[in-house]
Amino acid sequence: MNKFFIIMFHTYLSKLKSRAFIVTTLITLLFVFGFMNIDRIIALFETDDEPAAEVAVIDETNDLFEAADYHVQQLYDNIILVDVGENEEAALEAVERGDFNGLLILDYENGEVPGGEYYAPTVAEQSLPLQLEQALQQVKIEHMTATLDLDQETVEAIYAPVSFERTALDEGARSEAELNQARFLVYILLFVIYFSVLFLGSLIAMEVATEKSSRVMEILISSASPVKQMFGKIAGIGLLGLTQFFLIFLIGLWSFQGQPAQQPADVQGPVGGLPFFEATDLSLVLLLYAFVFFFLGYLLYATLSAMLGSIVSRIEDVNASITPVNMLVISAFFIAMFGLSSPESPIITVTSFIPFFTPMIMFLRVGMLEVPVWEVALSIVLMLAAIAFFAWVGARVYRGGVLMYGTSRSLKELRKAFKLK
């Protein structure tokens, strides 16, 4: 057992100090920090003295400009409309010279509905035309209500959002606010599980293939059994992954706590202060399940990756050898993404009991639904059985595969490695 811990900590410390891990972790932390603080970063590049956009306007109706100018001023403080008369050719030349950001021509569609046509040097700019369109929409509403002789209260009633509430009849079913809370957390943790399995599994296979290609493996097996090496590497890389995700969790938590609350205190959801990080039962249960399914999923896929990595002799062949494992992870991830909107779908229920898909799919179900305890327990038992089976097979293949050299990427070579003593 002492040799197992020696291999585990050696793998952990050597990878922890490697340049690849440090660079990858720093890039990941920067990405998480940037994603969580994108609004603040954007605000740094915004200046209060930024000049307003000037838009030339030709009003072919002679009665829409004032209404358009009024609504633009009410909605936006960064747009100035300038009435340039009726000379369209001169106005277009002014836009091309840069005197104006664009030209807006106001007219009636079908002789009665206000509309506009916008000209600009390019159509890449989306914000300004959209703002002008929204202002014209208000002009249209005002014009049409005046034509129909509707009072303001009637207009507001027409355009007011419809009252629509969803109430669950099943006792114990989660509310809409709780589902939004769970959906956001499940979405984030699914990405964590997905990328961790892909990255760490590849790292294990690469570690085994590197030792084989340098012939270090022949020395190592004389001091420790291949089985201890295999599980020592799996444990060491697992500790490395936990270290990386602990740092990511700290950065994310720090960013969340620094976010200003932008919604009423009685509104629950994954925005404005992100209340799901409070110590609620829902969050604690989800985080516990996330850890359990991450741990089980890592053990399963890491065992498969170590097994497949042991039958290749060149580092260049690693990615090809673990492609089947990666395809299983990717398939599980896409099924989980579908399940976010349809967690009660039959395919979600069935795949949640398939060990290769359980870490993501069953975690999705327990996050979104009230899943019976026996179903969760059954999925965990099936996963443990699958891990035990593939650990036994993987140990046999690993023991023979580490001593096999040459191009070894087929099922035939797996059987050959399995039979070696």
Same domain, 203 and 267: yes
Q: Which residue has the higher pLDDT, 294 or 280?
A: 294
325-330, long-range: CB within 8 Å, 24+ apart, which pairs?
325/201, 325/301, 326/198, 326/201, 326/202, 328/301, 328/356, 328/357, 329/194, 329/197, 329/198, 329/201, 329/301
48 assigned to some structural domain: no
Which of 8-12, 117-121, 311-315 has the least mean pLDDT?
311-315
- The residue written with tokens 């209060």 in the block is 48
pLDDT score, position 229: 74
- Percent of the chain exceeding pLDDT 70 equals 75
Give CA–CA dist 146/10, Å, rounded.
79
Banded model confidence at residue 343, pLDDT cuts 50, 70, 90: confident
Element (H, E) at 342: none
Tell whether 293 and 219 lie within a shared domain: yes
Domain boundary, last residue among 134, 159, 184 = 159
Same domain (yes/no): 73, 109? yes
What pLDDT does residue 34 have? 79
**Within a domain: 168:** no
Distance (Å, whole) CA 244 – CA 242: 5
The verdict on 139 and 200 lying in the same domain is: no
Total number of domains in the chain: 2
In a domain, 44, yes or no: no
Note whether 118 and 132 are within 8 A (CB): yes
Q: Residue 294 domain-assigned?
A: yes
Q: When comparing pLDDT for 187 and 406, which is higher?
A: 187
Confidence of residue 269 (pLDDT cuts 50, 70, 90): very low
Same domain, 189 and 272: yes
Task: Confirm whether 46 is domain-assigned.
Answer: no
Question: In terms of pLDDT, which residue wins out, 230 or 324?
Answer: 324
Residue 237 lies in a domain: yes
Considering the domain architecture, whether residues 193 and 322 belong to the same structural domain is answered as yes
Residue 380 has pLDDT above 90, yes or no: yes
Residues 114 and 23 in one domain: no
- Among 127, 159, 191, identify where a domain stops: 159
Same domain, 33 and 92: no
The mean per-residue pLDDT over the stretch 331-353 comes to 88
Quickly count: other Cβ atoms within 10 Å of residue 50's Cβ: 8
Residues 180 and 296 in one domain: yes
Residue 171 lies in a domain: no
pLDDT at position 218 is 52
**CATH number of domain containing 101:** 3.40.190.10
What integer pLDDT is reported at residue 242 of this predicted model? 82
Q: Mean pLDDT lowest for which of 36-45, 251-260, 351-360?
A: 251-260
68 and 143 in a single domain? The answer is yes
Higher pLDDT, 415 or 39: 39
Q: Is 232 found in the same domain as 121?
A: no
pLDDT digits (tens, 9 = 90+) for 180-223: 766 777 777 777 777 777 777 778 777 776 766 655 555 555 56
Task: Supply the pLDDT for residue 384.
Answer: 92
What per-residue confidence (pLDDT) applies to 217? 53
Q: Is 322 helix (H, G, I), strand (E, B) or coil?
A: coil
Confidence of residue 354 (pLDDT cuts 50, 70, 90): very high
- pLDDT at residue 366 is higher than 80: yes
**Which of 132, 159, 186 corresponds to the end of one domain?**
159
Rounded to 5°, angle at Cα 364 from 236 and 297: 20
**pLDDT band at residue 60 under the 50/70/90 scheme:** confident
Check whether residue 152 and residue 229 sit in a common domain: no
Give the pLDDT confidence of 293-329 residue by residue, as tens digits.
888 888 888 888 877 776 766 677 777 777 888 888 8
Q: How far apart are CA 361 and CA 375, in angstroms?
A: 12
Tell me phi and psi for residue 60, to 5 degrees: -75, -10
- Give me the mean pLDDT over the 42-52 stretch: 68
Domain ranges, residue 153: 53-159
Average pLDDT over residues 29-50: 72
HEC profile for 91-116? HHHHHHHCCCCEEEEEEEECCCEEEE
The dihedral formed by the CA atoms of 295, 300, 302 and 306, expressed in degrees to the nearest 10: 150
Of the listed ranges 209-218, 373-382, 387-396, the one predicted with least confidence: 209-218
Residue 170 within any structural domain of the chain:
no
